[in-house]
Chains A and B, each alone.
Chain A
């Protein structure tokens, strides 16, 4: 079974500083990896995704993430954080269910990292 670990529950950074949120996954096959952001009272917005190919992926709002198979990691980065980036960030792995048993997919999420931005 797949799993996702986000070791940092809370992170505080100053506006303008760089940011790195950690994500480690466990999955037997090629993973489909995602980063979502959730603002208070809102649903999840997709920041970026990795399916295959270039291991450095660019997303919206200036975010990027790097897939490192050897470390089973998919860390999210941003060179300069804005106050509006304060939110909760979730890393997720998508498992493609066995086609023989009907296929389909589901996401397994990490526990999230709450980002606070100090002005």
Chain B
């Protein structure tokens, strides 16, 4: 079974631009979560999508948004990029977000550099 895939793997943008990252979950997984990893803040939860609906949200500004499609694939968008948005963005999928807690499987990440 294929793992979580993320595209692109590397991205360079300039301040003020917007960017869209894509995540394809493991087949059969319906929950997709996004995390931001930076040296200063570590790993922080962005949001979770399940059945095309955002179900959980972390403490990030509205410039960060996402969506999920009917095939469970997810995209996240960052508008008006700032230098501080440079990070590794990790996507994780799980079967379902309900009890019992389902473990999350992570993709390799998208490395975003904002110049």
- Which A residues are within 8 Å of any B CB, using their own CB? 32, 34, 36, 41-46, 49, 51, 90, 92, 94, 96-97, 99, 102-112
Contacts and interface: CB of A to CB of B under 8 A. Distances in A.
Interface of B: 4, 31, 33, 35, 42-45, 48, 50, 53, 55-56, 58, 90, 92, 94, 97-109, 111
Contacts of B109: 42-43
Contact of B55 (A104, A108, A112): A104
Contacts of B44: 109
Nearest to B31: A104
17 contacts: A36-B106, A43-B90, A44-B90, A45-B106, A94-B101, A96-B99, A97-B55, A99-B98, A103-B97, A104-B50, A104-B55, A104-B97, A107-B35, A107-B104, A109-B42, A109-B44, A112-B42
* A interface: dominant SS: strand
Nearest to A102: B55
A10 B4 CA distance: 29
A44, A102, A105, A107 interface centre (most CB from chain B within 10 Å): A105
A105 B55 CA distance: 8
Given A104-B31, A104-B50, A104-B97, A46 B56 contact: no
Given A36-B106, A51-B101, A104-B48, 18 more contacts: A41-B111, A43-B107, A46-B103, A49-B103, A96-B101, A103-B55, A103-B98, A104-B97, A105-B33, A105-B48, A105-B97, A106-B45, A106-B48, A106-B58, A107-B33, A107-B45, A107-B92, A107-B104
A22 B108 CA distance: 25
B33, B55, B58 interface centre (most CB from chain A within 10 Å): B55
A24 to B, nearest CB: 16
B106 A44 contact: yes
Contact of B56 (A42, A90, A104, A111): A104
A108 B56 contact: no
B53 to A, nearest CB: 8
A45 B109 CA distance: 12
B60 to A, nearest CB: 12
